[in-house]
Structure 1
């Protein structure tokens, strides 16, 4: 029988994977290996402690930040977005609540609609220069002008804009900047020392640059594809070790109390077209209790899966748009069925 290491190595070589694969139980590593370059121009290789962007994997950080504010009485699940947006984003229905935004059931129009069959994440998708997008308030002009897709609460529809709105609400309700809220309310209690919303034009050492294919075997940096600094719907950088620490802290109740963890990972609906169910900021296996974070963007591919019963975590994190998905296959076959 092929070992996990042999299977991962073979697929990584076949697909030219660039990133890190990690498997651990309770924080004890069973497999961890880095592949490919962190920086192609300078031939700097990835290592197991390289930081990578995780795209929508950061939605869980936003959800936990919001829930921690609810726990403190600063927000409520039934707080309406309108009560804090005031005259901003007038096309958002006055009835939309924090809970609906967390559950992707708000129905608001999306600036980056992943239900669009023609969406190409490697394209240049945003209508403003990337350097203008570094904080939630910067997104008001990007989010405005999108009509509602359906009435609030009617159904599930994955919504990036909803999580940017949540970041705005968190800032306005608390009077504290979004990035500081995530740092103090999620990363610090979880011991995630290498997790941060970095600027793409100021990446420090030990951080992978994201790449998109430019044709003829060439690669181009994703710096003009994504906001210069992520906000509520994505853009954090992390390591596989920090992801392991995150899961352990979450289910130990160190980020938000255990009753809130139970509520956030409670399946609320099936995800149309996917073998997943959705909670609040988290996805869940279609039949098992495994909890999943997923992210994909230009030059970013990421999945981290945790089984609370066995304390198993497996994470694949890459610095190309689709590189993680082939490498995930042997992990999912062995650990998720």
Structure 2
């Protein structure tokens, strides 16, 4: 078979076939009466083998070794190809993500593109200072897609940079809440924590709804952070979690402050006082937890609280009794 016929049947150009021959990959021994190359059936099979191996990413040198070296073992080469392919995919994915971010920012010209690229690089810098400055400038100076800010906030470990990113997200609109919600379901505890902390600083109804749902999150850290934020927003459903925090001694001062904020609503004050008293008088809890619950009553107004404190001033636990007596004196002095 002549080279033109082989090219048509194999899909390999005549020029490439000549290149294979120059490298010694294919060696057609046959010749026509006119002296042209004549490819045998074995030659054509070898061409198909060459193309098959090339489709896996092998170089022509590696193809030659695979076909001609009886001792050639593919395992290591295949492993290397897998690694190289993964690296290439990762690089291409990173590039695609960067391009999408730039496109989402809707740059008006190349100057805008360059500014966005510079900001993206700054957000990925090893310098915490550069990341912080980039986060602060992302709101007013250079518009950055909210996806970029969310990704940065969920991965940031420096507290100052994280605070700047949360500040930027709080000013980025409703879309930030929906994207951060995905972080609440992350398998990584730190990511879940960063997500709820970021949501807690977004002052809109979508964020409040997410925080409300987070009260039933399997992660106790998420539940506690959500309860503190909801307490400041006047959401009564946070009360049980806040009281649990006081009992457990976890951010108990912040939890007591949140209960105090909720108790500014007269309709909630008696409910909160009743719940605190129930925990004090029912069930078995440590003495230190009872003292914290008594202290939490200090900023809860209403007759229910006053009666509870009067009863607690005679409590068997001297520390609780003294705490209640002191709080009563302060309330009577007002």
> TM-score, structure 2 length as denominator?
0.19
Structure having the higher Rg: 2
Return the structure number with greater strand share. Answer: 1
Return the structure number with greater helix share. Answer: 2
Q: Which has the higher contact order (CA 8 A, sep 6+)?
A: 1
